[in-house]
């Protein structure tokens, strides 16, 4: 079984020795679950992130997705979230094993990503439609997104003399905006946590549906952030998205910008540590700050 080199590098950068061990066991794990669940492999998907995802078919030739993640809390939360969405504008869960971090999911067909929609206005409309369909009350079994933001302080502690890529000024500003969102919040809801162009796919029977939830709770403003800076080709597109989402959902634009700066700063910290595209993120943060100060 061929595991792409870029995928291996990403896993090792994010998970270190644990990732190396998981990668070494992955071929045997794939073989075990294809036999156990009587699946026929068609090959991995083309846009692997932090999970190994394979297109498969069952004994009735039903198209499915077999997904492997490093076992732990993240995979368990994803399983709970997918169960909660119960196939409502979401890929259905067919089978799973929390111990090994394995999910067997409905395959959305033809599975065209929202990124293929060339009209920005149309893409925003479909995004908002899916996001609204996914709204659910907060559940105490899911962690709070505010726990993620401990990463801002952790990054600052690792770089006490501003030896890192991200300035203490930006980290402090992000922390200030997190506190603002928290103190002005109308209450927590279940968040998808990573709803963007690559996680919204077209299904011929059910229209646009979502995949790959993070399974966290928090203020809904944070849920818009991944879409804002994904597939971002110009400052004008970012401004258009902020305006469109604010108008369509009747939300406070400046509050959205503050939530966006806070979460994107945190994700930049992660990207620096995983040797990702942190430069592009810092550029987007500056664009968001410019919009906030208009």
Look up the pTM and report it: 0.95
- If one compares 264 and 13, the residue with the highest pLDDT of the two is 264
Residues in Cβ contact with 78 at an 8 Å cutoff, skipping those fewer than 6 apart: 69, 103, 212, 213, 214, 215
Q: What is the pLDDT of residues 147-158, one digit of tens each?
A: 999 999 999 888
Tokens coding 116: 């293929």
Average pLDDT over residues 202-230: 97
DSSP, res 109: S
Q: How far apart are the C-alpha atoms of 235 and 63, rounded to whole Å?
A: 39
Q: What is the pLDDT of residues 28-83, one digit of tens each?
A: 999 999 999 999 999 889 889 899 999 999 999 999 999 999 999 999 999 999 99
Sheet with 216-218, edge to edge strand ranges: 136-137, 189-191, 216-218
Comparing C-alpha atoms, which of 13, 21, 76 is closest to residue 50?
13
Q: What is the pLDDT of residues 192-213, one digit of tens each?
A: 999 999 999 999 999 999 999 9
> What's the confidence (pLDDT) of residue 174?
98
Q: Which domains does the chain have, with CATH numbers?
A: 5-107 (3.30.200.20), 113-292 (3.90.1200.10)
Q: How far apart are the C-alpha atoms of 126 and 108, rounded to whole Å?
A: 16
Tokens coding 153: 């302080």
> What's the confidence (pLDDT) of residue 22?
97
Distances (CA, A) of 125 to 85, 87, 122, 190, 260: 21, 21, 5, 21, 19
* 52-57 and 40-44 beta bridge pairing: antiparallel
DSSP, res 92: P
The answer to whether residue 1 scores a pLDDT higher than 80 is: no
């Amino acid at each position: 079984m061929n595991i792409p080199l870029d995928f291996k590098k990403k896993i090792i950068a994010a998970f270190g020795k644990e990732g190396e061990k998981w990668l070494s066991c992955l071929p045997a794990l794939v073989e075990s679950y294809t036999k156990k669940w009587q699946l026929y492999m068609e090959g991995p998907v083309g846009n692997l992130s932090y999970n190994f995802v394979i297109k498969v078919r069952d004994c009735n030739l039903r198209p499915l997705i077999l997904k492997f993640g490093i076992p732990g809390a993240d995979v368990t939360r994803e399983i709970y979230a997918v169960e909660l969405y119960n196939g409502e504008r979401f890929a259905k869960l067919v089978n799973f094993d929390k111990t090994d971090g394995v999910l067997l999911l409905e395959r959305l067909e033809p599975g065209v990503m929202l990124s293929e929609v060339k009209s920005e206005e149309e893409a925003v409309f479909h995004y908002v439609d899916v996001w609204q369909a996914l709204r659910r009350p907060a559940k105490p079994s899911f962690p709070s997104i505010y726990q993620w933001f401990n990463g801002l302080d952790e990054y600052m502690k690792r770089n006490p003399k501003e030896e890192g890529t991200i300035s203490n000024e930006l980290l402090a500003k992000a922390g200030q905006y997190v506190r603002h969102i928290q103190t002005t919040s109308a209450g927590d809801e279940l968040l998808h946590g990573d709803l963007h162009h690559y996680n919204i796919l077209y299904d011929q029977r059910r229209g646009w549906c979502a995949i790959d939830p993070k399974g966290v709770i928090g203020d809904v403003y944070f849920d818009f952030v991944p879409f804002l800076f994904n597939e971002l080709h110009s400052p004008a597109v970012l401004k258009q998205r902020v305006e469109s989402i604010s108008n369509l959902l009747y939300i406070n634009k400046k509050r959205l910008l503050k939530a966006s700066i806070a979460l994107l700063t945190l994700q930049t910290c992660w990207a620096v540590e995983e040797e990702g595209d942190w430069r592009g993120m810092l550029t987007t943060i500056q664009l968001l700050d410019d919009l906030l100060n208009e």
